[in-house]
């Protein structure tokens, strides 16, 4: 007759099964719960934004548009060279700039500036943008994305950390938007 204090083999296996199923369920639930609450915790996503320098303003002559690179402020060891991100800097006047994301607003191909025609052209599907970044023709439905920028001590810095979008990251940070052209 079995002792009532001993666990049968079946009971033990049942308990182990419940335990390991519980572990798997928790493992699956964590990313789902994080996803569901991501809208609530979105404010913390702003911690991915950071002001990074792209160079002294003397490197950007007035009336010209030049390519610049900056180091993405949030890198992982496997990122390699991809942490170096390009952007187009247009200097309108002494203190007035526009800093464009290099990615086309259609599907993200890198656009190139052609000073001869005064256009940014996308090699992928023929998207074109005027010098102020506004859409000229082709599939993009809007102009180039712009980085918020500020000039301090002769150095131009941009708010980087995520690709610019139609949203206003500065507004969500509660800061005052620096003057853009």
106 close to 129: Cβ distance less than 8 angstroms: no
Total residues contacting ligand FES (rule CB under 6 A)?
A: 12
Nearer to ligand FES (CB atom), residue 7 or residue 107: 107
Please give the radius of gyration of the chain, using alpha carbons only, rounded to the nearest integer.
Answer: 26
| Interface segment toward ligand FES; rule CB under 6 A; list 17-25, 74-82, 105-113, 153-161 | 105-113
Least distance CB 149 / ligand FES (angstroms): 23
**Nearer Cβ to ligand FES, position 106 or 131?**
106
Residue 170 sits in the site that holds ligand FES (CB under 6 A): no
Query: Does residue 135 belong to the site contacting ligand FES (CB under 6 A)?
Result: no
Strand ranges, E, within 72-126: 84-91, 97-101, 112-114, 119-121
Give the DSSP per-residue string, 110-131. BPEEETTTTEEE-TTT--EEET
Alpha helices for the chain (secondary structure H): 9-36, 42-45, 169-173
For ligand FES, the binding residues (CB under 6 A) are 104, 106-107, 109, 122, 124-127, 138-140
């Amino acid at each position: 007759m079995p002792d009532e204090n001993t666990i049968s083999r079946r009971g033990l296996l049942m308990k182990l099964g419940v335990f390991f199923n519980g572990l798997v369920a928790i493992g699956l639930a964590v990313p789902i719960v994080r996803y569901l609450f991501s809208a609530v915790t979105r404010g913390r996503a702003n911690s991915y934004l950071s002001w990074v320098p792209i160079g002294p303003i003397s490197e950007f002559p007035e009336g010209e548009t030049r390519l610049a690179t900056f180091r993405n402020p949030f890198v992982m060891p496997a990122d390699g060279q991809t942490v170096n991100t390009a952007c187009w800097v247009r200097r309108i006047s002494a203190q007035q700039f526009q800093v464009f994301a290099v990615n086309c607003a259609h599907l993200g191909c890198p656009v190139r500036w052609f000073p001869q025609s005064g256009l940014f052209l996308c090699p992928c599907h023929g998207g074109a943008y005027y010098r102020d970044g506004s859409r000229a023709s082709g599939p993009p439905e809007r102009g180039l994305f712009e980085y918020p920028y500020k000039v301090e001590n002769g150095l131009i810095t941009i708010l980087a950390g995520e690709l610019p979008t139609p949203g206003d990251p500065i507004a969500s940070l509660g800061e005052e938007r620096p003057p853009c052209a």
